[in-house]
A and B are shown apart, each in its own frame.
Chain A
Amino acid sequence: MTVANAPVLVSDAAESSTRRHSPSGPATRRPLRGLVKYLGLTPFAVYVILFLAIPTTIAVVSGFFTDDGAFTFDNVLGLFAPNVLATFGSSFWVSAVTAIVGAVVGALVCYALLGTRADGPLRSFIDSASSVLAQFGGVMLAFAFIAAIGSQGLITLLLKDQFGIDIFANGVWLYQVQGLLPVYIYFQVPLMIITFMPALSGLKLQWAEANATLGGTRFTYWTKIAFPVLAPSFFGSLLLLFANAFSSYATAAALISQGAQIVPLQIRAALVSETVLGRENMAGALALGMVIVMVVVMWGYSVLQNRTSRWQK
């Protein structure tokens, strides 16, 4: 922790020392003083309170109330109903599988990019393509996969006509939870490339030279040096990918029009019908459950991220 905070402390110290030696003296040093200065913060504060703090609070707290405003644990206990637990289970499953596959494939691509010039055309193309594809999730991505592996899709027909393989022999799984796997992986890999590349390019050639000088092999380089250095960043990115899949709604909504197989779709059902499990404000309880998972995952991410920053620069 102290190491991670060091640069901040140093820059603070530097700042205060320049202030002290400022030639203009204390009277004119801070031209915006008192209330005026704080007034400048109000537009942002008001905006964030109205459209971030209040909605988040309503979303998280409304699960504890009935429509009449009476306090109840009913909705929150509803989270432990078997079918709701099952949706959380599927959400976990989809997020974990796509995060792991996305992280491994993304890390491979990052590895393949080592040794290319950071400002060269290949890297900047892959950077831009990754930012587009990481944002690509949603209705358009669903279209793309229906066109590719839908029941009349390009790949489906190709496999069937040329190789006699029917990928939907056991039913059309694209519009079920399993169908989300390839689709989510499509935006997970680019996100991994964006988040993991800085850590991987932070590996220094000198470390490999030191390893070679001390009689180490390629194997010891990767297991004793590169892996320990990269591990926090890798697992941090993995958690980010998990959170990304867990909170993703649009793609699933476009693919799965009926039912509530994962948590975001259950929230949709609760918002639209208002009576999931015969409970009011169930959407609030589900939102609370989701926020708890997200807070835990993102907390883990920031802890790992802090460890990562020790090795960069």
Chain B
Amino acid sequence: MSRPGASDNSVAVRMGTEPSRTVRWIILGVVGLVFCIPIVAMLLFSFKAGLAGGLTLDHWAGLFDEDAARTYRNLFTGIGNSLLLAVVTVGIVLVVLLPTMILVHLQFPKLQRTLEFICIIPITVPAIVLVVGLAPVYSIVVRIAGGSVWTLAFAYGITVLPYAYRAIQSNLDAVDVVTLSEAGRTLSANWGRILWFVLLPNLKRGVLAASFISVAVVLGEFTIASLLNRTNLQTALLQVSQSDPYVAVIFALLALAFAFILLISIGRIGRTRTGTSS
């Protein structure tokens, strides 16, 4: 804001540290165009009237048909399951990960490194490897908790760990949690009150970002659900695509738009927050 000319800093351009306006827009234009192609192709495909060509609204209208609920029952089950899994996974992040992170930050600063290491393990142990070991674990989980689909959220909680950790940690680092809670203690608040009235409001941004990214990851998850023979949005999409590719593509577009809105709002939360605090 203080440097209105910053977007076209001619000194920087001349010295070669920044691209000129033309170069910038050529690069962004070409890459942007190429990256639009598959999405536009999907969009056009959803309006395509068979192989002969021509455009139609039938595929979109078909969703609101009376018997759509029956035709696409499997797909709607998948969507329902994925939403349920998203909620339970966010629950795991908020109830298991968040308190642990705050506790470690306040009481076990030496464990900080260990916690970080644990939370980024799922990047090194990808879902396709994890699922090999999850199969036997889930045969026990099913015996204890039954075969309902929500139990899959235990595995998803692990999958989202790196993302959720990073979102919450960057917020924890930015807020002086130690001083805040010591201030709370000095004013004789108990830990419950400090957590609820002091820490959580200050960590709102990180917590929201962690929840949103978890939802986005869960809605896109395919590997674990597919190999453990559960139905979620992605496995249902793949199944529907074999009988009705148009509907599969329409739902893929909707899911993509939803993920985009979620991640745009993460950016928004970040910016309004820094805007008000400065």
Q: Name A's B-contacting residues (CB within 8 A).
A: 12, 15, 18, 22-24, 28, 30-32, 37, 40-41, 43-44, 47-48, 50-52, 54-60, 62, 105, 108-109, 111-117, 119-120, 124, 127-129, 131-133, 135-141, 143-145, 147-148, 152-155, 186, 189, 203, 205, 208-209, 211-212, 218, 221-222, 226, 243, 247-250, 253-254, 264, 267-268, 271, 283-284, 286-287, 290-291, 294-295, 298
- When distances are taken between beta carbons in the complex, the residues of chain A under 8 Å from B222 are 138-139, 249-250, 253-254
Partner of B263, one of A120, A132, A137: A132
B-side residues, CB < 8 A to A, are 6-9, 11-13, 15-19, 23-25, 27-28, 31, 35, 37-42, 44-45, 51, 92, 95-97, 99-100, 103-104, 107-109, 111, 118, 121-137, 154-155, 157-158, 161, 178, 182, 185-186, 191, 213, 216-217, 220, 222-223, 226-227, 234-235, 237-238, 241, 245, 248-249, 252, 255-256, 259-260, 263-264, 266-267, 271, 274
Q: Give the complex CA separation of A18 and B136 in angstroms.
A: 49
Secondary structure of the B contact surface, majority rule = helix
Min CB distance A46 to B, Å, is 9
Determine if A56 and B41 form an interchain contact, defined as CB atoms under 8 angstroms apart.
Answer: no
Tell me, in angstroms, the Cα distance from A20 to B95 when the chains sit together: 32
Query: Contacting B249 at CB < 8 Å: which of A15, A56, A147, A152?
Result: A147
Complex alpha-carbon distance, A189 and B11, angstroms: 29
Is B154 a contact partner of A51 (Cβ separation < 8 A)? Answer: yes
Q: A208-B15, A243-B123 are in contact. List 5 more A-B contacts (CB 8 A).
A: A109-B31, A128-B266, A136-B256, A208-B16, A290-B126
Please indicate the chain B residues that have their CB under 8 angstroms from the CB of A111 in the complex.
19, 27
Q: Smallest CB–CB gap between A217 and chain B, Å?
A: 8
**Docked-complex contact A51 and B155, CB < 8 angstroms:** yes
State how many angstroms separate the Cβ of A84 from the closest Cβ of chain B. 15
Give bound CA distance, A120 to B6, whole Å: 11
Ranked nearest first, the 8 interchain pairs of A and B with the lowest CB-CB distance are A55-B133, A247-B126, A218-B16, A58-B133, A59-B133, A115-B18, A144-B38, A148-B41
Is the beta-carbon distance between B158 and A52 smaller than 8 angstroms?
yes
17 A-B residue pairings within 8 Å (CB atoms): A23-B186, A24-B185, A32-B107, A41-B108, A48-B118, A50-B137, A111-B19, A115-B6, A139-B238, A141-B38, A143-B241, A147-B38, A148-B41, A186-B38, A247-B126, A249-B128, A268-B227
